[in-house]
Structure formats: C-alpha cells, structure tokens
Structure 1
Amino acid sequence: MKNCLTCGHSQEDGKFCGKCGTPLESAALEQAATINNMTDYQNQPQPQAGQAVQETSHSSDQIELLKKQSKLYFNHFLEQLKKPSAGFNVEIAWKNNLTSMIIYVLITALSVFLLIKSFTSRTFGLFESYGPSIIQVILYVSLFLILLMAINVLAIFLTSKLFSENLSFTNVISKIGSYYALPIAVTILSILFGLLKSYTYSMIMLYIGFVLAIGIIPIFVMVKLLSNTSKIIDNFYSFIFYLVVTAILTSIIFSFIIDSTIGDYLSFLI
C-alpha cells in the first residue's frame, strides 16, 4: 500500500496519487534522489589533466542520471495524458510542466519547418534554395509561441491577482503546463504525418495542437481558477477582464510581427 505525502490518499499501485497527482513515496524519493545526485555531481571539483579515467566515469554517471530523469519525466507525461486535471494543484511538478511547454514549442517549430519545406519544394521548386533554414524556422516559431504563452501566463497572473487566488508566475506556468501532454501528442502526430508526406493531416494536427495549447488550455485554467474563488466582482466580469487583457496583448504582438516579418518578406519580393 502506498501513501501520498501531500493529501494522505492510499492506493495499491501507481507512481502518482490518483487523488491529487503528487508522486507517491517511491517516485518522490526516486526523483529527490536523482536531483540530489545531479546537484552533488555539479558541486564536485573539476578533474585535473591527469584524471581522464575519473572524467570518463563522471560522464557515464551523468548520462545515467539524465536517463533516469528522462524516465521520470516520461512517467509524468503519461500521467498527464491520462489524467491532466490530477496535477492541477501539484506545485511539486512545475519543472516537469515547464519542460512539457518547452517540448511543445520545439516540436511545433519542427512540424512547421517540415510543412514549409514541402510547400516550397512543390510550389516554388526553382527558389527552394532561398527558403528559410531549419534554424531560422525554429527560432522564429519558438519566439512567436513563447510570446503567446507569455501573454496567457501574464493575463492569468493579473486576473488571479485581482479577482481570484494569489498566484505566482511559477504557479500559473505549472497549472497551464499540466495540460500540455495532449498538445504534445497531437503535434507529434503532425510530424509523423509530415514525414509520411500526408501534409493535409499534418496541418490539421498542427492546428489542433496550437488551438489546444494557446487557446483552450489557458481559458480552461482561467475558468477553473475563477470557479474556486473570486474576489470583489462576479466571475463573469473577471473572465471578461482576462479576455480583454489577452486580446490587447495579442493584438500588440501580431501588429509587431506584421510590421516586421511580413514587411521584410514583401520588400524582398519587390
């Protein structure tokens, strides 16, 4: 029988609490041991010139620690995929949730690059060499997605500060990131369809993942927060405030992108 260290819930199997989503004793201890081992390794003095054997051993230990940490994240990802709301109030997993958001940004940028490459090769075959590189696409798409995520985090943070719970930026990121397993899975499907040259389905999956990550998930988190507690005014007006803040910040970002990026492309074509 395993006991949850956070809420006291008991269950026979599983690495995460079925009630609150906190890692159970074994998983929590394993994760804590992994983090402590990585910290101990980082605090060790650097090897001298004549310590090639020790350096090789330390590198091997670090690889093993990374493998173990990756395994813990994969288990966390599967739990997110099965029960996203279970980790909504589990602040101990905020680093894993932030990792999910970073992974989504990177695989979305990769999916966009595959689609752009296929489009330029079929439509502008003669000018394929002038298309953007993978580094450029990843940089621009990642920056674009990070800005939109930052808008969502800031809007939820301001709304929660004024009308709901007193949350920090870390809390907001954790709550949003706890639902990112599904957008990641959908975007991975987009990449697979792109590799199979099924570009229509690839674009559909990419669009669904984007709508989930940037639109539906932040709105769902905001509604859930407002349903818990609300200060000063009615929840409906709090939600309207969130939408207005999001719309204003998004319009600023889009106007900046249109003025800079699209303007550069038009001047290049002319």
Structure 2
Amino acid sequence: MITCPQCNTQQESGKFCGSCGADLSPQASDFAQPSAKPEVAAAASAQSQPVYTNENLNKAKEGVSKYWNFALDVLKRPSAALTGNETHFTNGLITIAVYVVAFSLSLYFLANKLFKTMMGGFGSAFGEGMGAKSLPFFDIASPIFMFVLLFIAGAMLSSFAAIKMMSEPLSFKGIIGQFGSIIIPFAAMNVIAIIFGLAGSIQLTLLLTGLSLLFTTFIMPAIVVYDFSLKIGKPVNRVYWSVGASALSMLIAYLVVRTSVLSFIEDMEQIMNIF
C-alpha cells in the first residue's frame, strides 16, 4: 500500500494520488517529509522571542517605577536622599543624566525659539524660508551638556575631597549616589524649564536653570559635607569643611567658565553672524 504524504490516503499503486493528485514517487516523498521541520523551528523561535522581549520590557518598567517612586519621595522629603550612599548609586546617575540633559535642552529650545522668531521677522521682510531655519542642535546643546556636567563633577569632587580630609572612608560611588539623589528637586526644575524654553520665556527659563545651577554647584556641596560630618559622630570642624567644599566647587566652576564657557559664547556669536 502507498500512503499519500499530503492527504494520507492509501492506495495499492500509482504515481499520483487518486484523491488529491499529489506526486507519490519516492523522491517527492523524501523531499516533502522534512519540510515540516523548518516550520516547527520557526514556530518555536516565534514563540520564544517574545519571552525575552517581555522580560526586558518588564525589567525596564520596574526600574522606571522604582526611580519614579524614589524621586517623588525625595521631592516630598529631600532628607530621604541623605539616608543612603552607594545604595542610591543608580538613582544618582539617572538624576545627574536627567539634570544635564534637561538643562541643555531648555537653553537650546529657548535660543532656538528666539532665533526663529527673529528670522521669521526677517523672512517676512526679505523673502520666504528664512523663518524655517533652526540653530544647529549638536553645536549648541553638546557644549552646554559638557559645561554643566563639569560643574556637577566639580561639586561632587569638592564634596569627596572634604570628606576624605576628615579621614572618613567613603567611595566616590557613594558621593555620586548621595549627591545625585539630593539634586532631584533641581533636576525637576530643569525639566520644567524645558517647557518655558519651548515657549520662549527668557525670564522663567533663565530663572529656573540659574537657580538649579547655583544651588547644585555652590550650596549642595556644603550640605552634603555637613550632613556627613554629623553622621560620623566625631568632633570635626564641620563648618569649615562644608564651606571649604563649596569654595572649591566655586573655584572649579570659575576655571570652567574662564577656559571654556567664554570661548563658547564667542563661537555662538559667530554662528549667529553666519545666519
């Protein structure tokens, strides 16, 4: 008896199936049989791939949820950021990234809004298309990003140096966790400044970004060092070390402004002249 590989109909002889007309030769039977294997493998691959995707998505959602809850807690109780050091390392890194990116975007959007408003007026007077131009994003946002990152790095380095001078064991990872967590309110100010930057509000954008940078660079080092000196329970000159940390942070910020920020302002003037 011969069994049809397509419809499983049995017949005594013949080269073709009497029911469906399929080829019953041995070569056709050998070729048709393994064809199911790739389909099974493809189906198994299609079923296993979403599993990894869902796991990564769930982990990402869980991480965002944890950071969001932590940020809300710090916004309600800023002292919560001072309860842990290295345990807040990831939260500190995320906050620093949000702070720097939001600061850069707010100033870029403000400058671009003012530029397009000015070019729009010239476009209506001298021709079409001038108002559609935008300032180069990378040339403007990336230097601001680096400047703000240097300011924050200087503030953390100043805090770390003052604590080390008190002969206390603390890793730089712990400073990142504590300092990055305590500037969550100022990162939120920068996020709000993005909205005002898009709206072209010079006063509100510069007010929020200026206050956030002032407190982060000059005030927070003193707070972090003073809080740490209270926790160690040793008689140290906590006021002097706290003020010294802020003074060192100011010095680093001054050097950054003198060596980089002023030249960036000159480059900005050249870009404006090109347009």
Match of 2:218 among 215, 237, 243: 215
Kept after mapping to 2: 8 A contact 1:88/1:175? yes
Partner of 1:63: 57
Match of 2:182 among 179, 183, 206: 179
Q: Which one is further off, 229-238 or 136-145?
A: 229-238
Kept after mapping to 2: 8 A contact 1:163/1:232? no
TM-score, structure 1 normalization: 0.70
CA apart distance, 1:153: 1.0
CA apart distance, 1:158: 1.0
**What is the number of equivalent residue pairs in this alignment?**
222
> Secondary structure in 1 aligned to 2:63?
helix
Structure 1 residues 61 and 156, CA, compared in 2 at 3 Å: closer, same or farther? Answer: same
Determine the C-alpha separation between the residues in 2 that align with 1:249 and 1:205.
Answer: 22
Partner of 2:98: 103
Determine the C-alpha separation between the residues in 2 that align with 1:186 and 1:178.
Answer: 14
Determine the C-alpha separation between the residues in 2 that align with 1:137 and 1:207.
Answer: 18
The gaps in structure 2 that reach 5 residues or longer are 1-40, 123-129
**Do residues 167 (structure 1) and 162 (structure 2) align?**
no
Partner of 1:155: 158
**Do residues 250 (structure 1) and 244 (structure 2) align?**
no
Partner of 1:75: 69
> Secondary structure in 2 aligned to 1:90?
coil
Query: Percent identity between the aligned chains?
Result: 22
CA apart distance, 1:121: 2.0
Kept after mapping to 2: 8 A contact 1:165/1:230? no
Kept after mapping to 2: 8 A contact 1:164/1:229? no
Match of 2:114 among 119, 128, 136: 119
CA apart distance, 1:231: 7.4
Determine the C-alpha separation between the residues in 2 that align with 1:247 and 1:184.
Answer: 20
Partner of 2:240: 237
Structure 1 residues 142 and 230, CA, compared in 2 at 3 Å: closer, same or farther? Answer: farther
The gaps in structure 1 that reach 5 residues or longer are 1-48
CA apart distance, 1:143: 0.8
TM-score, structure 2 normalization: 0.69
CA apart distance, 1:124: 5.0
Kept after mapping to 1: 8 A contact 2:225/2:241? no
The 5 Å alignment of 1:26-41 reads none
Determine the C-alpha separation between the residues in 2 that align with 1:129 and 1:164.
Answer: 58
CA apart distance, 1:233: 6.4
Match of 1:94 among 82, 89, 94: 89
Structure of higher RCO (CA pairs closer than 8 Å, 6+ residues apart)? 2
Amino acid across the alignment from 1:109: S
Determine the C-alpha separation between the residues in 1 that align with 2:262 and 2:211.
Answer: 27
Amino acid across the alignment from 2:194: I
Provide, for residues 126-159 of structure 1, a one-character-per-residue CA deviation record: whole Å limited to 9, x for no partner. 5777764233333212111111111111111111
Structure 1 residues 262 and 198, CA, compared in 2 at 3 Å: closer, same or farther? Answer: closer
Structure 1 residues 131 and 188, CA, compared in 2 at 3 Å: closer, same or farther? Answer: same
Determine the C-alpha separation between the residues in 2 that align with 1:167 and 1:219.
Answer: 16
CA apart distance, 1:160: 0.7
Structure 1 residues 108 and 82, CA, compared in 2 at 3 Å: closer, same or farther? Answer: same
Structure 1 residues 257 and 131, CA, compared in 2 at 3 Å: closer, same or farther? Answer: farther
Determine the C-alpha separation between the residues in 1 that align with 2:57 and 2:241.
Answer: 48
Determine the C-alpha separation between the residues in 1 that align with 2:78 and 2:212.
Answer: 15
Determine the C-alpha separation between the residues in 2 that align with 1:60 and 1:232.
Answer: 53
Partner of 2:13: none
CA apart distance, 1:267: 6.0
Aligned CA-pair RMSD: 2.9
Q: Give 1 or 2 for the bigger CA radius of gyration.
A: 2
CA apart distance, 1:176: 1.0
Determine the C-alpha separation between the residues in 1 that align with 2:181 and 2:145.
Answer: 20
Structure 1 residues 96 and 265, CA, compared in 2 at 3 Å: closer, same or farther? Answer: closer
> Secondary structure in 2 aligned to 1:178?
helix
After the TM superposition, which parts of structure 1 deviate over 6 Å for at least 4 consecutive aligned residues? 127-130, 230-233
Partner of 1:206: 209
Determine the C-alpha separation between the residues in 2 that align with 1:210 and 1:191.
Answer: 15
